[in-house]
Structure formats: structure tokens, C-alpha cells
A and B are shown apart, each in its own frame.
Chain A
Amino acid sequence: MSGSEKLNRVVELLDQRGLDGLIIYSSGATMGPKYLYYFSEVKPLGTHNAAVVTKAGDVTLLVQPQWDTLRVSEKGWIKNIIGSSNFLKDLDDVLLKSKITGSMGIVDSTAIPADVYSVIADRAKVELADDLIEKVALERVSEEIELARKTAKIADTGFKACLENVRVGIREWEILAEIEYAMRSAGADDCFNLMSSGKHNHAGHAPRERKLREGDILIFEISAICGLYIQLCRTVVLGEPSKIVLEKYALLVQALEESLKEIRPGSPSALIAKAQNRVLSAAGYGEYCRPPYMAKRGHFSNIVYHAPDRNLDEHVKTILTSGQVVIVHPNQYIPETGYLMCGETILVTDTGFERLSETEAKVYVKEV
């Protein structure tokens, strides 16, 4: 969908909702839906950015820092760009010039700081309108699907680098540096990698000083980011793995495979978590499928998706549609082994699903 097509669709939806305008805000990088990135087609750099759209179809993009306007004008489709050194004042000026006095929709509403909200509320009646861009983004484009496939290869590359470099004596932060070097060299815009090492892990975390030892169980959550996230969760054992680790990991693989059977257009996404929890509960780990041990069984991962359903659990309402990108991870704390990671990213297709990762779901063993 081109920029002008997105704008036309937004204007149509503004009209249907009786809104005089829309502010699509971004405070930069986000773990949630990337509304402004989707709409403007440029990754925001600074901590305050916003597109102001009027019901007449005029659009102004406020960009911070001021000097980033050149990049934004070269990469995106919006022509009217204002580099801002005083965001609150500049936003107020744009609202004044746009003559929006009725109802104004705000998008990325959960990120808008109190100061920015006050400026908007002083000029117009504010309505939350995240769903408006979510509706536009539902019309998935082939480019996003191709991007998902490309990004999945980068995550695979990261895990391959992990296997090549992991060894006794390397520190946690050194192994992640190797992984991220491989991922960035392969074209990742950004990485979101967590890990843990030890005989009994409790959760993935940012890398620490710890040096890896023989017998360690290593868990990795490797996410490549190129607009959308593609995640790969895998477990590596440094040296001979114990029988119990192999046995319990097979349970996670079974949970993964069972949950994938629930993925097809029209299927409730909550069934993914239910299938995983069913397998794990049947094996006696029902109480470990709940907090504080576990909560979510994956995430939605398109550039924009229905924000309240970001995390996959048994209660999400989203019905799966073709083109959705879903991270599915039956990662599990198991008292006998500690936390084990097993998960990957799945594309919902017209007929079912496609596994985007080429890295097999199994325990990886690195000889020492």
C-alpha cells in the first residue's frame, strides 16, 4: 500500500468516525506496534515525532531532532516535514494552523506523555484511535511478508554465529556481541537478544559478566528487527546434555508442534497458548504455566497489530488472519531443569502457516 493510499484510507476512516484529525505519535523505538513507522515509512530517530492528519487529507510530519528532516524526506512519502527543536510548541502551532477544534484522534495513545497530551487536549476533544491505523494495517502487503522472511534468515544467522562462537570461558556479553555482529552484518536494523547461562536458569536477561562453564544450559532469545521482530528461542548445552534436559525439551517441542496445529486463518489465537499449556499440564507442569513462572506464550509481530493483544496467552481475542506474523514460544520453567527456551516465528498463510525459521527445534549440543 503506497503512502497516498494509506492517507486516503485514514481520511476515509476519520470521516466514518466523525474525527476532525488524527495525531500519530511516536517516542522512538518501541516494543509495541510501530504506528508512525508504518504510516510514514521512516523509522523515527528522536524521542518526539508525530504525523498530524486533517480530515481534508493534509498531513504534516513533526520530526525531532531538527536535523533529521533530510533523512525523513528522503526515506518517506510525506512532503510537509517540520524539524522541531521545541516539540510542544511546534505541535501546538501545527494544530492551530490545521484549525482542528472538534475531535482529534490520537494513535500510540499509551505512549503519549502527559505534556504532549495536554497540548492536544487544549485544542481539541481527544479520542483514542490506535484501532484506526490497526484497521489500515490489516490490509497486509506482500512487502511486509517478504521482510518477515528476510528477517527470519537474519535470526537464523545469529543463532548459527552463537553455535560457532559459544565455548567454555567466553562471557555472556561476549557471546551476544558475536551474535549481534553476525546479525548486523546480515542486515539487521536492530537486535533484541536476551540470554541466560548456568545449571538452572530462571529467565532470559541482558548479558552479564558470567563466564560459560562446561555443563551449562544456555538459553537464547534471538530477535532480529527490520521494522518487524522475528524471534528465535533456542537452548544450547555446553557439553553432554543430561537425559532429563533432553526429555523435558522434547516436551517443549511437542507443545510447539501441537500449538502450530491451531494456526490458520479464522482460528482464535488464544488456542495457541491453550494447546501449549495443555501439553505441559498433561506432563504435570500446570502450575508452572502460570505467573510467576510463565505468562505469555508468544507475541504478535507485524509492524502494526491490535495493540491490546500484543502477547499471546489464553485470553487474547485476536482471530488469526492471513499475513499475520506470530511469535510462538512454549518457553518454560521446569523445576528439574530450570528455564528452557523453544520458540520461533510463524507466518499465517491462506491455508495454514509457514515456519519462517530454518533452525530446527531441538537441544543443541556444543562439544567441549
Chain B
Amino acid sequence: METMQPTLIRGRDVWDPTHMPKAEFLERVSKIQNEMKKENIGVLLVYGKSFESGNICYVGNTVPRTAGGGTVIIIPQQGEVALIYGGSSREVFATKQITWIDEVIPSSRFAEDCVNYLKEKNLLSSTIGTVACKRLMPYAQWKVIREGTKQCKMVDADHILTGMRMVKSKRECDQIRRASRIINHVLGSIPDTTLKNMNEEFLEAVLDKEARMAGAEDIRILIAKPKTGEWALRPPEDAQITRGDSLIIHLAASFERYWSEGIRTFVAESASLTQPKLEDARALYKRITQGIKSGKTASQCYKEAVDELQKSKVDYIPTYGLGQGVGLDLQEAPMLTGEDSTMLKEDMLLTLHLAIKDADLGAIMLGNTIYLAKDGAELLTKES
């Protein structure tokens, strides 16, 4: 689910090598370099921004924490990996705390420094692969890089990382389980919380603190009041929550770079929120979840889910989609749509959303992070 981006990723900024050791990153780099060899790519430029940092995290465990900040990781077919970030030299120490990469270069002239580095290291090979550069890099910077490397052929190499990132390692799965525990904890705490102020922004403050105190690095919250005519998910506002309101809460949180999300529907009491039973919706959600299995394509799962929705005669709300991959980005491949032919595999992590109209509540939304095990889907954000 797309969410409001923060200006700064504010939470716990930690790399715990017992959770994600350097060896795992080296293994990833080695696999990337093998793919580069196969495709005759001499050097790979992996670009990321704060709002889409999954690729650079995957390689370097780093994320630009301020909005708009960019980072490039340079991977030669052989040799040392380097990280260049847009920022001051005073940030080198902090950056090195969370990355295994030794060559960390701060830059105020990002693109020029990138080209200079390639020249200095004799990395202006005949073919340069780019990951997310054209899509995310500001035009002016891209132009400098393109002009500085005009003797080279540039090829789009997004597919190398996309393919590798879809199936998670055991350690990655564990990190997403840790992020899911935060989601479970925060969403699970809502019915027990007395709200001294029944205001959307205050509720956001409470949930944000609860997640942060559980170790979250980044937190995103969307809200909707589906009983009130036209509605949509949106960031919380300075608006009262009135007794009897139905309230949909979408919560996403990351733990040491890895994301999980959950969506729940509540009903407002005078100073708290309760969770209605929603037995039919939960049963339907369970049936759809059971249909998502490795060995099927994403589109096949989507079509089966749509069939199930039709069979159940519910009024499905397709606005927010059925779900997608989750990991180092909150939204990543594969997409649970009718068009995505990606074969689902064991050790993929997905989010699965269900939104249906409801006569009493206006609408119900349920959402979870699911792990594709050998024998089916496991809900990591299962309600207690």
C-alpha cells in the first residue's frame, strides 16, 4: 500500500549483524556479479531514494534517511563495492554504522563524483548496468552521469535485483517476522487502550509511539472512516473520532529495514476502539489466503480470489488491490493482479488485502503479511 512518506526515517537505526551478517550481503553481491557476467555488464549502478530504497538496502543495508536523499552503490564485476551518498562528510561515521561497505563516499556533487569514481577506478566498461536510475534519479544528475559515460553502453538491469529479491532468505524471513511482531503488538494493543483524546492525530501519536517503543525503524499509518459517505484511506487528520464510527487502520512498520503491514477494522466507543467479530469476512479472507500457494502464478491466485469473492456474493472494493510482495520495500514484486505472471515460490512474502462493503460498518478491510511456506500461506500478522 502506498503511504505518506516521512521527511525523515526517525526510528531505531541499527544494524545487528546477528540478524543479518556481512556474509549474507557478500553472498548477494557474488550472485549479482554472476548475473552481471552472464549479461556482459562490467559495472552496475544501483540507485535508491528514501521512498524506494530496497535495492540499495539489499546490497548495502543502507537507506537514505532524509526525504529526497539519494544513494548509489557501484558494483564492479570484480572488486570492491562502493557507496556514494548525497550528504556531508560528518555523516560518514553514522552511515558506516549500518553498512558493511568500507568504501563510503559523501558527496555534494553526487553525479560528478559518481562519474569521477568510475574513471578513477577504471570502471568505465563497455556496458554499464543501471538499477532504478532513470526511474528515480533526478534528471540533472542522470544527465551528468550519461554524459560522463557516453562511450559506454547503458542497459537497464532492474530485473537482476527484482528477481533475486522476490524469494527471501531464511534471515530475511526472520526479519519480516520481527517486523510482523511489531504490527501484531501495536494492532493488538488498540482494543486495550483508553484514548484520552478521541482524535485521529492523537490515535496516530499513540500507535506511532507503541511501534517505536517496540523497535520500529519506520512507521506508516493510514486511516479511513467508511461509514461517512464517500471514503478512502488517508493520513490521520485533526478530526474527532465519534462513538459509533467505524474505523479502518492500516499500519506498516519496518524493523532493521524489513517491512510488514496489517489492516484492521474497528468500531469507536466513547474512549476506546473495539474490534467487531466480522466472522464472515474473516472466513472469506481465510479462504482467499488458502488459495495463495507456491507453484501458482500471481495472476492465477488473483483470479481465484476474484472467483471466491464472486461466489461469496460480497461487494468487493478493488481500490486498494489484493496485495503484493513485501520486504525491503513496502511494495515490491510480485503483484497480486490479473496481469502478473510471476510464479509464486516458497519463501516469498506478500501482503494480502481484502476490502468489502458492509451494511453496518460501511466497509470492512482486513490485511496481513503472509509467508509462503511449502504447504501454503502462513499469516505473520495473525490476530490474537
- A interface list, Cβ under 8 A from B: 27-32, 43, 45-47, 64-71, 109-118, 173-174, 176-178, 180-181, 184-185, 187, 190-194, 202-203, 205-209, 225, 291-293, 295
Stretch with Cβ within 8 A of A (4 or more), from B32-40, B62-70, B116-124, B183-191: B62-70
Q: Given the complex of chains A and B, what is the CA–CA distance between A225 and B66 in angstroms?
A: 14
Q: Is B91 an interface residue (CB 8 A)?
A: yes
Contact assessment for A45 and B235 in the assembled complex, using a CB-CB cutoff below 8 Å? yes
Measured CB to CB, the closest approach of chain B to A84, in angstroms, equals 11
Cβ contacts A to B, 15 pairs, < 8 Å:
A31-B66, A47-B2, A64-B2, A70-B234, A112-B138, A112-B139, A176-B10, A185-B205, A194-B8, A202-B93, A206-B8, A206-B9, A207-B13, A208-B12, A208-B97
B3 within 8 A of A: yes
Please state if B51 and A27 are interface contacts (CB–CB under 8 Å). Answer: yes
* B24 on interface, CB distance cutoff 8 Å: no
Which of the segments B158-166, B208-216, B271-279 contacts the partner chain? B208-216
By Cβ-Cβ distance, the 6 closest A-B pairs, closest first, are A184-B205, A117-B139, A206-B13, A29-B67, A177-B212, A114-B142
Please tell me if the beta carbons of A114 and B137 are within 8 angstroms of each other in the complex: yes
Residue of B nearest to A191 (CB): B10
Chain B 319-355 interface 0/1 with A at a Cβ cutoff of 8 Å (1 = within): 1100000000000000000000000000000000000
Q: Least Cβ distance of B233 to chain A in Å?
A: 7
Q: Which of B1-30 contact A (CB under 8 A)?
A: 2-14
**With contact pairs A29-B7, A173-B12 given, residues A111 and B138 touching in the complex (Cβ less than 8 Å):** yes
Quick check: which of B128-136, B280-288, B304-312 contacts chain A, the rest being far away? Answer: B128-136
Given contacts A110-B140, A202-B93, contact A27 B68 (CB under 8 A): yes
CB distance from A184 to the nearest CB of B (A): 4
What chain B residues lie within 8 Å of A115 (beta carbons)? 134-135
Contact of B3 among A32, A45, A70, A187 (CB under 8 A): A45
Indicate if the CB atoms of B7 and A185 lie closer than 8 Å: no
Give the chain B neighbours of A114 by CB distance below 8 A. Answer: 133-135, 137-139, 142-143
Interface residues of B (CB under 8 A from A): 2-14, 49-52, 65-69, 88-91, 93-94, 97, 133-140, 142-143, 197, 201-202, 204-206, 208-209, 212-213, 215, 230-235, 238, 319-320
Interface centre among B4, B69, B230 (most CB of A within 10 A): B4
Q: Which residue of A lies closest to B140 (CB)?
A: A110
Instruction: Say yes or no: B10 contacts A31, CB within 8 Å.
Output: no
When C-beta atoms are compared, the residue in chain A nearest to B13 turns out to be A206
CA of A32 to CA of B213, assembled, Å: 30
Let me know if B94 and A203 touch, CB within 8 A.
yes
A-B contact count (CB 8 A): 164
Given A67-B320, A292-B89, A181 and B209 contact (CB-CB distance below 8 Å): yes
Instruction: List A contacts of B13 (CB < 8 A).
Output: 173, 205-208
Note all chain B residues with C-beta closer than 8 A to A110: 138, 140
Q: Are B139 and A205 in contact (CB under 8 A)?
A: no
- The smallest C-beta distance from B237 to any residue of chain A, in angstroms, reads 9
Q: Which residues of B contact A29 (CB under 8 A)?
A: 4-7, 50-51, 67-68
Pick from B8, B14, B137: contact of A192, CB below 8 A: B8
List residues of chain B with CB within 8 A of the CB of A113: 134-139, 142
Which B residues lie within 8 Å of A45 (CB)? 2-5, 234-235
Known: A111-B138, A205-B13. A181 touches B205 (CB 8 A): yes
Complex Cα–Cα for A299 and B66 (A): 15
Q: How many Å lie between the Cα of A110 and that of B201 in the bound state?
A: 32
Identify the interface centre among B14, B197, B202: most chain A CB within 10 Å of its CB: B14
* Option from A31, A68, A292 in Cβ contact (under 8 Å) with B7: A31
Q: What is the CA–CA distance of A225 and B94 in the complex, to the nearest angstrom?
A: 24
Alpha-carbon distance A190/B4, docked complex (angstroms)? 10
B-side contacts of A173, CB under 8 Å: 11-13, 212, 215
Complex contact B52–A47 (CB within 8 A)? yes
Q: Are B91's CB and A178's CB within 8 A?
A: no
The 8 Å CB contact of A203, one of B93, B133, B206, is B93
A67-B233 in contact (CB<8A): yes
Q: Is the CB of B8 within 8 A of A209?
A: no
CB atoms of B142 and A190 under 8 A apart: no
Residues of A within 8 A of B4 (CB): 28-29, 43, 45
> Of B7, B197, B213, B231, which is within 8 A of A177 by CB?
B213
